Amino acid sequence: MSNEKGPDHSRRKERSRQAIFAATRALVVEEAYEKVTVEAIAARAGVGKQTIYRRWPSKSAVVFAALLALSEDADGQSVALPDTGDLEADLKLVMRATAEEFADPSFDRLIRALNTEIANDAALAAEYREKLARPLEEAKKARLRGAQEAGQLAADADLDLVLDVLYAPLFQRWLHRSGPLTAAYADSLVDATLRAFRP
Amino acid sequence: MSNEKGPDHSRRKERSRQAIFAATRALVVEEAYEKVTVEAIAARAGVGKQTIYRRWPSKSAVVFAALLALSEDADGQSVALPDTGDLEADLKLVMRATAEEFADPSFDRLIRALNTEIANDAALAAEYREKLARPLEEAKKARLRGAQEAGQLAADADLDLVLDVLYAPLFQRWLHRSGPLTAAYADSLVDATLRAFRP
DNA sequence: CTCGCAATACGGATCGTCTCGTTTAGTCGA
DNA sequence: TCGACTAAACGAGACGATCCGTATTGCGAG
């Protein structure tokens, strides 16, 4: 007798959870963000509103969780940057790929929604940093540490600063739509960063 | 006979316009942003809702216009960076001042609201770039051009890129609350940028 | 039979529209 | 010069629609 826990409702729960996430993502991608409503999510997921509010306290939390889960699934456990030994080539590869990601309309809408939520909620912002930003940063910093040991990067460089200088311009250009995210732009960011922090 | 234009109702218009802007700014500063409603703005400004909707198509547009007007007033016509001939000192002065501005809670809320609006509306983003970002950028680029001529900056440097590398990390750190905006951080951004683009 | 869930009704709040008297600025006649 | 007249703009707020978050109900799986 499983008197410890109730019977196995976890599968049912998990199914509706995934349905809610899928519906949320679909709506964020295809509708104007302000039209993404809890009622629309529930209808599309084929669940009752109460099932959503039973698990998350607000619409923001649902959207955030859906996007967070997306990245967690995608990443799996293995977040690692390429390491061919050629720092410049590796970084340009990664930066070009990042620029392309941002150029994808679906990705654009998803990340824009995510940024909207975390820009106005310090608690969500902290959770975002903890669960998404930090692991990615650690992976990037691991690659940079290797470069420092190989003498391709200043040994005393502040790696947080290096990452800021490398990524923030791309992010800002995307967020403010102040220019196209071309491969050339990605390359020039890598070049500038490497000049700033060369040994 | 002024058959060209109707009678001069501009004073009345202008008074309510300023009242609406003042009320909007006050509410953005002191309330959580989602509590800034058109009804609250109208009540505080002592105007009818229709007076607001007669001039702007949506709440977003009102908020945006109020914040835009704030900066336009503040700037006046003279946007110019200090130019003592010492590029590094001038930039550190400006970057430290910028970091302090972002640390001010009122300024923080105003700019956060502004960014929320423009992140999800490409038209507002374009207007923002045109009316606010561009003039500031031009002033900054004018200072950098002087530095290029004085041989303090690489003559072939892309000034848009220089500005991105200089400012974007500060902006992103503020937006994502990923770290404190200290004078030391401001200085290190100037140092990194000057290393990346030295002659 | 029992229990969790989908469906849906509900109250509260806000948006954006509409209507209604009132105020205001400009016009004109005495 | 001055006080009524007119038309536009206005403050106030009622209204329908929509959405949030809560509470209730009826059904179907186990």
The 10s digit of each residue's pLDDT in A39-48 is: 999 999 999 9
**Does A9 have pLDDT greater than 90?**
no
Residue B66 near residue B21 (C-beta atoms within 8 A): yes
Residue type, A195: R
Strand D atom within 7 Å of B129 CB: no
- The pLDDT > 90 percentage for chain A reads 72
Whether A192 sits inside 8 A of B129 (CB atoms) is: no
B4: pLDDT strictly greater than 60:
no
Closest CA to A198 of A153, A160, A163: A153
Flag whether pLDDT at A35 surpasses 60.
Answer: yes
Q: What is the pLDDT of residue B10?
A: 58
CB contact under 8 A, A165 and B160: no
**What is d(CA B11, CA B92) in angstroms, rounded to the nearest whole number?**
43
Please say whether the beta carbons of B129 and A178 come within 8 A: yes
Max avg pLDDT among A119-133, A159-173, B73-87: A159-173
Q: In this structure, are residues A102 and A108 in contact, taking their beta carbons and an 8 Å threshold?
A: yes
Structural domains of chain A, ranges and CATH numbers in brackets: 10-71 (1.10.10.60), 79-196 (1.10.357.10)
Q: Do A177 and B133 touch (CB under 8 A)?
A: no
| Beta carbons of A114 and A67 less than 8 angstroms apart | yes
pLDDT band of A2, cuts 50, 70, 90: very low
> Using an 8 Å Cβ cutoff, are B174 and B165 in contact?
no
Please, which pLDDT band fits residue B3 given cuts at 50, 70 and 90?
A: very low
Give burial (CB, 10 Å; 0-12/13-18/19+) of B91: buried
Whether the per-residue pLDDT at B25 is higher than 90: the answer is: yes
Q: Is the distance between the Cβ of B51 and the closest atom of strand D smaller than 7 Å?
A: yes
Of the candidates A34, A169, A177, the beta carbon closest to that of B164 is on: A169
Amino acid (one-letter) located at A81:
L
What band does B186 get if pLDDT is binned at 50, 70 and 90? Answer: very high
Q: What is the pLDDT of residue A75?
A: 60
Least confident of A131-135, B71-75, B133-137: B71-75
More confident residue, A28 or B31: A28
- Helix, coil or strand: residue A144: helix
Tokens 């491969």 correspond to what residue? Answer: A183
Q: What local confidence, expressed as pLDDT, does residue B1 receive?
A: 35
Residue A109 scores a pLDDT above 60: yes
What is chain A's mean pLDDT, rounded? 89
The whole-angstrom separation of Cα A171 and Cα B183 is 23
**Nucleic strand C near CB of residue B12 (< 7 Å):** yes
